Chains A and B, each alone.
Chain A
Amino acid sequence: MNYRRSYFIITCIAFGFAFLYIPILSMVVFSFNASKLVTVWDSANSPTLKWYYALLHNDEILDAAWISLKVAVINASGAVILGTLAGFGLARFTKFRGRFTLNAMTTAPLVMPEVITGLSLLLLFVAMEQLIGWPAGRGLTTMTIGHMTFSMAYVTVVVQSRLASFDTALEEAAMDLGARPVKVFFVITLPIIFPAILSGWLLAFTLSWDDLVISSFTSGPGSSTLPMVVFSKVRLGVSPEINVLATITITVVTLMIVAVSLWMARASRLEKPV
């Protein structure tokens, strides 16, 4: 294998990453800007932490963040269960009735425009309420169901591809030694796919935490999530507090990603000698 350096490719990569990261860095820098104009640097009073202080005392944003957190945690946990079952089924059972449909139903949400998913879920909830009286009104429950429906598709893909890259020899060996399928799953398969389940959980959490469109359709009065509050603020223009929020988000995500990838690198090193 040769790793050839071409100046054209290196330039492309450099520009590509500049394009991806300059907007993010600009938010971080201007979160320390004292000026209310956000993008005009007030060199007399900056850098300052005053917008950080303001954000931590903004009840509207904090309440919304609490709602988003609750929905995201429940969603991620539910989506991981559903997605792991679906991913396991699709990867390990090559033939069963409804395989094609299940495959289609787990691929479509990945690309389906969110406005369509959101509208259809809302109309379902309204129809269900008319028919059976549940869910009564819209709020956290309907929002969580909506989020689980599209984020489980992502978990399915992650789990399925992890299982596809592992051959079935270990599982077959355990079965030959007399382990029941359920025991094989919990003792052999689950530890193998645990990294995929963990990244699936984080992915589902992030998707829910970020979602604006499906939340807007399926939420009720008094259950505005963080993206909904941010969206209504951002529509009116830039706001220094949103830069602070972005900086905090970026810091948390970066730390998390670095921690998880270090942990996975270690896990895969431990895996190799076997």
Chain B
Amino acid sequence: MKRTQYLRRFGITGRGLVVVLPYVWLLLFFVVPFVIVLKISFSDIDLAIPPYKPLIEWTAKNALAIKVNFNNYAFLFTDSLYLNALVNSIKVAFISTLLCLLVGYPMAYGIARSKPSTRNMLLLLVILPFWTSLLLRVYAWIGLLKANGVINNVLISLGLIHEPLTMLYTPFAMYVGIVYSYLPFMILPLYANLEKMDWQLLEAAEDLGCRPYQAFYKITLPLSRNGVLAGSMLVFIPAVGEFVIPALLGGPNALMIGRVLWDEFFSNRAWPVASAVAILLLIILVPFMMWYQSVQARESAGAR
């Protein structure tokens, strides 16, 4: 026991040893990188490798000079491209979240109210697409939506249309892609929440003369609030920074901030500008992440 007390004085405990490895890993590879992004967002673009100037420099007189410049941020606010992309991304993510909720809520509700045997089967069917590659599933929509794609071919052969519809590389295609890819992220937390629901409350409400839609509106919906919020955050936050779907389905005019960041980085090699975009995006998304975490905490506290 002496030895453990001795170790404990230096904060070394068995418990500490369990969490120290993941803790240090995440600190080094998840938190520190943001500090570096912040640093580089304040530096100048340089035609060198890596393509930015150091913030801290020894000047000719052997004095330490710290050059912080806000040029990259000023640039983001003067060129309307960035703000437009940001506003558009938030709009697209918000509408996609609503669409996911609209499609996902009835599905989660139906699964939660089905027999336990069918329930597991249906859940498996929701999870299965999530395990197959996102890239390939987005790719599938190119085949469905393009001018001589499956949907146009079917509609033409049924005689419903004579000219193929332009669907690929439009905002419509992008919404379809985002809702399609993120739907399981909406359904699963909603299901986890609805599964714990006490359905006798609904019976009680109906016995007391509530119409089914009233009972839904007054009881089910408020009680599933945490599920709705958790699912919405899981869709909204990553959708704001989505890159793959707008790049493949949205066409050249789909202005999404994730894509702007990608192009600044890979095409223009403007690392400081890309960093400034990332910081701006983080400032907007961090409050939502904190909200998500508090919803999760409430949800797991309620489960106990």
Contact = CB atoms under 8 A, between A and B. Distances in A.
A238 B139 contact: yes
Given A13-B107, A20-B129, A149 B238 contact: no
A246 B241 contact: no
A126 B240 CA distance: 26
Interface in B119-151: 120, 122, 124-129, 131-137, 139-144, 146, 148-150
B19 A102 contact: yes
Interface string A180-194: 011000000000000
B135 A231 contact: yes
A44 interface: no
Contacts of A86: 19, 22-23, 26
B7 interface: no
Given A113-B258, A123-B271, A230-B135, A30 B143 contact: yes
Contacts of A108: 30, 289
Contacts of A156: 22
Q: How large is the interface on A (under 10, 10 to 19, 20 to 34, 35 or more residues)?
A: 35 or more
Interface string B35-60: 01100100000000010000000000
Which of A20, A83, A85, A245 is most buried by chain B, counting CB atoms within 10 A of its CB? A20
B140 A213 contact: no
Interface in B266-298: 266, 271, 274-275, 278, 281-282, 285, 288-289, 292-293, 296
Interface string A139-164: 00000011011001000100000001
A54 interface: no
B90 interface: no
B32 A12 contact: no
Nearest to A1: B199
A178 interface: no
A98 B125 contact: no
Nearest to B259: A115
B115 interface: yes
A117 B138 CA distance: 21
Contact of A39 (B122, B124, B146): B146
Interface stretch (A45-53, A55-63, A249-257): A249-257
B75 interface: no
Contact of B110 (A13, A106, A146, A227): A13
B297 to A, nearest CB: 8
B75 to A, nearest CB: 17
Contacts of B106: 8-9, 12-13, 16
A85 B21 contact: yes
Given A89-B15, A98-B23, A124-B36, A115 B135 contact: no
B199 to A, nearest CB: 7
Contact of A120 (B134, B278, B289, B303): B278
A116 B131 contact: no
Nearest to A156: B22
Given A82-B21, A124-B29, A246 B136 contact: yes
Interface stretch (B61-69, B79-87, B219-227, B243-251): B243-251
A120 B143 contact: no
B10 interface: no
A250 B131 CA distance: 9
Contact of B244 (A22, A126, A212): A212
Contact of B22 (A102, A104, A164, A250): A102
A96 B137 contact: no
Contact of B233 (A13, A111, A116, A238): A111
B92 interface: no
A114 B34 CA distance: 13
Kindly list the 4 A-B residue pairs having the minimum CB-CB distance in the complex, ordered from nearest: A113-B241, A120-B33, A12-B106, A23-B140
Interface of A: 1-4, 8-10, 12-13, 15-17, 19-24, 26-27, 30, 37-40, 81-83, 85-86, 88-89, 93, 96, 98, 101-117, 119-121, 123-124, 126-127, 130, 145-146, 148-149, 152, 156, 164, 181-182, 202, 206, 209-210, 212-213, 216-217, 227, 230-231, 234-235, 237-238, 242-243, 245-246, 249-250, 253-254, 256-257, 261
Given A19-B183, A111-B285, A116-B281, 14 more contacts: A21-B129, A24-B129, A38-B143, A93-B19, A103-B293, A108-B30, A111-B288, A113-B281, A116-B278, A120-B37, A234-B135, A237-B142, A238-B146, A253-B131
8 contacts: A89-B15, A96-B15, A111-B233, A212-B135, A212-B244, A230-B136, A235-B248, A237-B146
